[in-house]
């Protein structure tokens, strides 16, 4: 083992029932470097981190740590801490009701009594040394999230960690706080701590990291020095496409309908979840898509349109009239439908029957005190079970016993039943079989031909290119470009996602 | 504090300190009001001592409950366990047992309940409400098995102990006839105050005590921080059980009689006292000093209600309920105002 290597993972494998989460992954961390771990959803980043922190036990491979003879066995988070591996998670894992100093020292040592004075003095010294703007006696909950995160890091550093894992530390921080955190990270790097930085913000990776390891589908794609890997190549590697391979997709010319007035138009729309205000418009019969990496803000944007998160600003015009859409029900009344990304939690009502799930949205719009008659509900359900070819024993079957694809069709039916003018589909094809996928894509095109406007989101770029006539590209919660017509190619999309850095 | 540059300004109160301050202020305001409006008994120190004499057992039980609640749990068996201890000890002593063995019996019964509750709740992860509800029914049932008939203590030594009172002449008052009546305090009050101080120090100064706050604040985080969450939670119920046992003994020293309905509703009064004292039902925030003042506040309300001529028992329940409501509202308003202030400060910082 080289002298400056603090952590070396070799041939790590991990299998969950039915899924190979990691296979033969190598990872090397050197002293005093910030090493970004990148990958799309399901690439295996978090599994790798959890293997390293003892949350999961690995099925194969070896872990070596500087200063420890031979292979290290990590079976619990405590083992990991003893081996000098500390993790700071996206959600703060400190106790908000205790003071800053207590949070730094609780759970360490075996003294029966708490030495408040000594503890506060030590904590004060560490905080000052690292330049963290917190006072030892302050209640942790009264600090900002960024400072809480820094306190967690201070605790880890004081525990003499060699490997510091920062798992999505910047997701809930604003720009200024991110800068503060980066300052601390650079400081720790200069002290020789090896930092593993997990994030999905591309710009942030290039701002602080020295090296990048990319995972995809549970396999190692490669380890790269940051200077040798332009952003566009990183995106290509994460998505699994080599730039040279990106053959231009044959596509028929889709007529541009610039003349038609937009059916929905938003200016400076922002919500509690989507931090940056954006402008957006869609025409009658248009299919457009939001694309970008995971966490780029694509879902948050469409949720803002449907008012699924609290809307904080912006004006909305529908058919030329200014509308106030603050709640989903208002959006529904204006003819907007939204198929949510998280089918299980936001979509289906697991214990209700297929029929009740289908009529739900329409029933809500009509009001619960005027229920549909049994016959009406039956007629609606049967119509759409037939139209969408939903495979279910009967309309009485609980939706939870259907396959994922059929559940998705039921939710789709729920919205089609309301005859929306504008339908938002957020990852309608995730986790469903290929056959149903193409069915849904065909359906989307058909609906558009019939005059419905559709926003379609998918993680698979090919699917987006096939379905949409216009793509809105997002990066780090900003809209960074729009592609239409001939511009709609994979390499273009990736270049736009990566930004002009190549 | 002055030495370190970082610490020049005074630290704002923690949630626990803030709620405690509110409780103490309200108690003194209320007692002061009672002194002004109704005078009489309220002007004598004996009034305070009577409140303590009558509620020593409640104070002890409430201390245990405060610990459990700080740890994010609940223990509603405490009243039942207290009753069982009273009945068992009286039957034991009336059948020739000594005071010492009775005291050991009391502690033993309490520890047994605490042990079983703690084990089931923290190691088998069953809902604390349900487990301690079962414990409450079990203890009440056992009480009637021990004796269906009300029992009166016949042990001479214990009777003497009951009558022993600590007299504090300089806090006494001069009666109409001109003779000085000293303030009297029962031994149970001493026990209660000792328990209070021990628990206070434990919560403030020991690793275990801070562990209760940690698991109540966020048990997942506490686990990540290396706190032995299961053991800590187990110990909170064990201590609560132990204190219920001690409370039973103290209760017996006050009443000298055992009855199946002894300490009926003690668990609810204890919970109410803890909440009035600033302990949050959601855990992580609280203090036994607050609980102590919670008991006094609750008792003062009842005394005021009785003094003002509303002698029917339901008036006490109604006012207690209203006060509890008021305190919980106050707590949530104060804490949410704090959160708002923090958010505002953050926005200002941004600009």
Task: Decide if A483 contacts A451 (C-beta within 8 A).
Answer: no
Asked if residue A239 is part of any domain, the answer here is no
**Are A149 and A221 found together in one domain?**
yes
Task: Decide if A164 contacts A157 (C-beta within 8 A).
Answer: yes
**Are A274 and A223 found together in one domain?**
no
The backbone torsions φ and ψ at residue B98, rounded to the nearest 5 degrees and listed phi first, read -95, 170
Asked if residue B39 is part of any domain, the answer here is no
Q: Which domain holds residue B244?
A: 50-296
Angle between helices B45-70 and B78-94 (to 10 degrees): 120
Q: What whole-number distance in Å separates Cα of residue A107 and Cα of residue B229?
A: 10
CA atoms within 13 A on the CB side of A87: 26
**Are A127 and A44 found together in one domain?**
yes
Q: What whole-number distance in Å separates Cα of residue A155 and Cα of residue A81?
A: 11
Q: Which of A77, A113, A174 sits opposite B205 (nearest CB)?
A: A113
Number of Cβ pairs closer than 8 Å across A and B?
98
Q: pLDDT digit string (tens) for B183-217?
A: 888 889 999 999 999 999 999 999 999 999 999 99
Asked if residue A129 is part of any domain, the answer here is yes
A97·B346 Cβ contact <8 A: no
ipTM score above 0.90: no
CB-based contact, B284 to chain A, within 8 Å: yes
**Are A284 and A193 found together in one domain?**
no
Asked if residue B323 is part of any domain, the answer here is no
**CATH classification of the domain holding B198:** 1.10.3470
A142·B342 Cβ contact <8 A: yes
pTM of the model: 0.74
Asked if residue B253 is part of any domain, the answer here is yes
A95·B284 Cβ contact <8 A: yes
User: Cβ contacts (< 8 Å) between A96 and chain B: which residues?
Assistant: 217-218, 284
Q: Which of B205, B206, B217 sits opposite A95 (nearest CB)?
A: B217
Asked if residue B246 is part of any domain, the answer here is yes
- Of A257-266, A371-380, B245-254, where does the model show the most confidence? B245-254
Q: What whole-number distance in Å separates Cα of residue B277 and Cα of residue B295?
A: 8
The backbone torsions φ and ψ at residue A457, rounded to the nearest 5 degrees and listed phi first, read -125, 135
Asked if residue A250 is part of any domain, the answer here is no
Domain finish residue from A214, A229, A244: A229
**Which comes out higher in pLDDT, residue A432 or A447?**
A447
Query: Closest by alpha carbon to A26, among A221, A234, A227, A164?
Result: A221
B284·A103 Cβ contact <8 A: no
Longest C-alpha distance within chain B, in Å?
78
B284·A107 Cβ contact <8 A: no
- DSSP reduced 3-state for A291: strand
**Are A73 and A197 found together in one domain?**
yes
**Are A55 and A137 found together in one domain?**
yes
Distance from CA of A473 to the nearest CA of B (A): 28
What separation in angstroms does the CA of A1 have from each of A64, A83, A148, B87?
Answer: 9, 17, 36, 72
Query: Closest by alpha carbon to B60, among B239, B185, B244?
Result: B244
B210·A102 Cβ contact <8 A: yes
**The pLDDT value given to residue A388:** 86
Domain finish residue from A207, A229, A251: A229
**The pLDDT value given to residue A241:** 64
Looking at chain B, which residue has its C-alpha nearest residue A142? B342
**Are A37 and A184 found together in one domain?**
yes
Give the best residue of A76, A80, A98 to mutate against chain B (max B CB count within 10 A).
A98
Asked if residue A215 is part of any domain, the answer here is yes
When pLDDT is averaged across residues A450-467 and rounded to a whole number, the result is 84
Q: Is the pLDDT of residue B105 over 90?
A: yes
Contacts of A236 (CB under 8 A, 6+ apart): A242, A243, A246, A494
**Are A209 and A296 found together in one domain?**
no
The distance from CA A501 to its chain's CA centroid, rounded to whole angstroms, is 23
Q: What whole-number distance in Å separates Cα of residue A475 and Cα of residue A497?
A: 6
A95·B7 Cβ contact <8 A: no
Asked if residue B216 is part of any domain, the answer here is yes
Asked if residue A234 is part of any domain, the answer here is no
Domain finish residue from A213, A229, A245: A229
Looking at chain A, which residue has its C-alpha nearest residue B70? A97
Q: Which domain holds residue A410?
A: 262-498
- DSSP reduced 3-state for B165: strand
Q: What whole-number distance in Å separates Cα of residue B202 and Cα of residue B64?
A: 12
Asked if residue A63 is part of any domain, the answer here is yes
Q: pLDDT digit string (tens) for A179-214?
A: 888 988 998 898 888 999 988 778 888 889 999 999
Q: Which residue is listed with tokens 């300089």?
A: B170
DSSP code for A345: I
Contacts of A403 (CB under 8 A, 6+ apart): A391, A432, A433
Q: What whole-number distance in Å separates Cα of residue B343 and Cα of residue B327?
A: 24
**The pLDDT value given to residue A42:** 67
User: Cβ contacts (< 8 Å) between A180 and chain B: which residues?
Assistant: none
**Which comes out higher in pLDDT, residue B113 or A2?**
B113
Give the best residue of A142, A154, A158, A172 to mutate against chain B (max B CB count within 10 A).
A142
Q: Which of A92, A94, A112 sits opposite B207 (nearest CB)?
A: A112
**CATH classification of the domain holding A195:** 3.40.50.300
CB-based contact, B14 to chain A, within 8 Å: yes
pLDDT above 90 covers a percentage of chain A that reads 12
Asked if residue B341 is part of any domain, the answer here is no
Q: pLDDT digit string (tens) for A363-403?
A: 888 888 888 888 888 999 999 898 888 888 888 888 888 87
Q: What whole-number distance in Å separates Cα of residue A216 and Cα of residue A43?
A: 4
Tally of domains within chain A: 2
**Which comes out higher in pLDDT, residue B168 or A500?**
B168
**The pLDDT value given to residue B4:** 45
Asked if residue B346 is part of any domain, the answer here is no
Q: Report chain A's mean pLDDT, rounded to a whole number.
A: 84
Q: pLDDT digit string (tens) for A146-187?
A: 888 889 888 888 887 889 999 888 877 777 778 888 988 998
User: Cβ contacts (< 8 Å) between B4 and chain A: which residues?
Assistant: 121, 124
Tally of domains within chain B: 1
Q: Which of A113, A124, A139 sits opposite B15 (nearest CB)?
A: A139
């Amino acid at each position: 083992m080289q002298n400056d290597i603090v952590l070396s993972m070799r041939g790590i494998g991990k299998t969950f029932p039915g899924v190979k989460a990691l296979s033969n992954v190598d990872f090397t961390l050197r002293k005093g470097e910030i090493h970004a771990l990148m990958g799309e959803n399901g690439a295996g980043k978090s599994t790798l981190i959890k293997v390293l922190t003892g949350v999961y036990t690995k099925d194969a491979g070896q872990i070596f740590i500087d200063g420890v003879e031979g292979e290290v066995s990590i079976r619990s988070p405590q083992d990991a801490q003893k081996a000098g591996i500390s993790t700071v998670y996206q959600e703060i894992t400190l106790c908000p009701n205790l003071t800053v100093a207590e949070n730094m020292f609780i759970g360490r040592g075996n003294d029966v009594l708490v030495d408040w004075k000594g503890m506060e003095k030590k904590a004060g010294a560490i905080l000052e040394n690292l330049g963290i703007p917190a006072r030892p006696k302050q209640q942790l909950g009264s600090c900002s999230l960024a400072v809480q995160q820094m306190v967690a890091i201070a605790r880890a550093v004081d525990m003499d960690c060699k490997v510091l894992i920062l798992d999505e530390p910047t997701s809930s921080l604003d720009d200024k706080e991110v800068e503060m955190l980066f300052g601390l990270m650079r400081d720790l790097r200069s002290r020789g701590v090896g930092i593993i930085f997990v994030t999905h913000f591309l710009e942030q990776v290039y701002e602080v990291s020295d090296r990048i390891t990319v995972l995809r589908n549970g396999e190692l794609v490669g380890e790269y020095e940051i200077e040798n890997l332009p952003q566009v190549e990183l995106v290509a590697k994460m998505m699994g496409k080599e730039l040279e391979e990106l053959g231009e997709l044959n596509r028929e010319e889709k007529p541009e309908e610039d003349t038609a007035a937009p059916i929905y138009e938003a200016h400076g729309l922002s919500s509690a979840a989507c931090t940056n205000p954006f402008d957006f418009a869609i025409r009658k019969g248009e299919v457009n898509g939001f694309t970008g990496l995971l966490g780029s803000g694509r879902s948050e944007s469409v949720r803002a349109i449907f008012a699924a998160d609290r809307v904080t600003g912006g004006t909305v015009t529908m058919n030329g009239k200014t509308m106030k859409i603050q709640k989903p029900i208002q959006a529904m009344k204006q003819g907007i439908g939204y198929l949510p990304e998280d089918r299980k939690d936001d979509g289906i009502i697991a214990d209700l029957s297929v029929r009740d799930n289908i009529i739900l949205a329409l029933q809500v719009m009509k009001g619960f005190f005027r229920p549909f008659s049994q016959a009406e509900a039956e007629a609606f359900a049967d119509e759409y079970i037939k139209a969408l070819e939903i495979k279910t024993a009967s309309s009485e079957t609980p939706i939870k016993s259907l396959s994922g694809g059929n559940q998705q069709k039921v939710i789709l039916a729920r919205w089609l039943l309301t005859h929306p003018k504008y339908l938002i589909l957020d990852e309608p094809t995730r986790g469903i079989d290929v056959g149903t996928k193409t069915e849904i894509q065909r359906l989307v095109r058909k609906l558009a031909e019939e005059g419905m406007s559709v926003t379609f989101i998918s993680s698979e770029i090919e699917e987006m290119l096939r379905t949409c006539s216009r793509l809105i590209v997002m990066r780090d919660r900003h809209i960074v470009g729009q592609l239409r017509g001939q511009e709609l190619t994979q390499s273009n999309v990736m270049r736009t996602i990566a930004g002009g850095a190549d | 504090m002055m030495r370190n540059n970082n610490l020049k300004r005074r630290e704002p109160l923690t949630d626990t300190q803030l709620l405690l301050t509110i409780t103490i202020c309200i108690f003194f305001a209320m007692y002061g009001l009672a002194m002004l409006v109704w005078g009489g008994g309220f002007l004598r120190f004996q009034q305070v001592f009577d409140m303590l004499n009558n509620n020593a057992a409640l104070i002890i039980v409430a201390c245990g409950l405060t610990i459990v609640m700080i740890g994010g749990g609940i223990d509603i068996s405490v009243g039942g366990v207290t009753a069982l201890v009273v009945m068992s000890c009286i039957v034991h002593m009336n059948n020739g047992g000594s005071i010492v063995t009775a005291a050991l019996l009391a502690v033993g019964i309490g520890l047994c309940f605490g042990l079983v509750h703690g084990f089931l709740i923290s190691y088998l992860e069953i809902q604390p409400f349900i487990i301690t509800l079962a414990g409450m029914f079990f203890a009440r049932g056992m009480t009637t098995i021990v004796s269906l008939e009300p029992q009166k203590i016949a042990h001479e030594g214990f009777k003497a102990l009951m009558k022993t009172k600590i007299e504090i002449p300089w806090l006494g008052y001069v009666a109409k006839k001109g003779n000085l009546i000293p303030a009297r305090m029962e031994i149970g009050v001493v026990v209660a105050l000792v328990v209070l101080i021990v628990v206070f120090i434990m919560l403030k100064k020991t690793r275990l005590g801070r562990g209760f706050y940690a698991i109540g604040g966020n048990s997942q985080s506490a686990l990540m921080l290396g706190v032995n969450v299961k053991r800590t939670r187990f110990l909170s119920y064990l201590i609560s059980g132990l204190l219920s046992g001690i409370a039973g003994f103290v209760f017996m020293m006050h009443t000298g009689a055992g009855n199946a309905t002894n300490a009926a509703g003690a668990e609810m009064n204890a919970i109410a006292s803890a909440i009035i004292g600033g302990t949050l039902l959601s855990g992580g925030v609280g203090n036994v000093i607050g609980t102590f003042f919670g008991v006094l506040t609750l008792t003062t309300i009842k005394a005021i209600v009785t003094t003002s001529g509303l002698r029917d028992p339901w008036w006490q329940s109604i006012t207690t309920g209203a006060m509890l409501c008021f305190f919980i509202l106050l707590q949530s308003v104060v804490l949410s105002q704090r959160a708002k202030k923090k958010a505002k400060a953050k926005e200002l910082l941004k600009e």
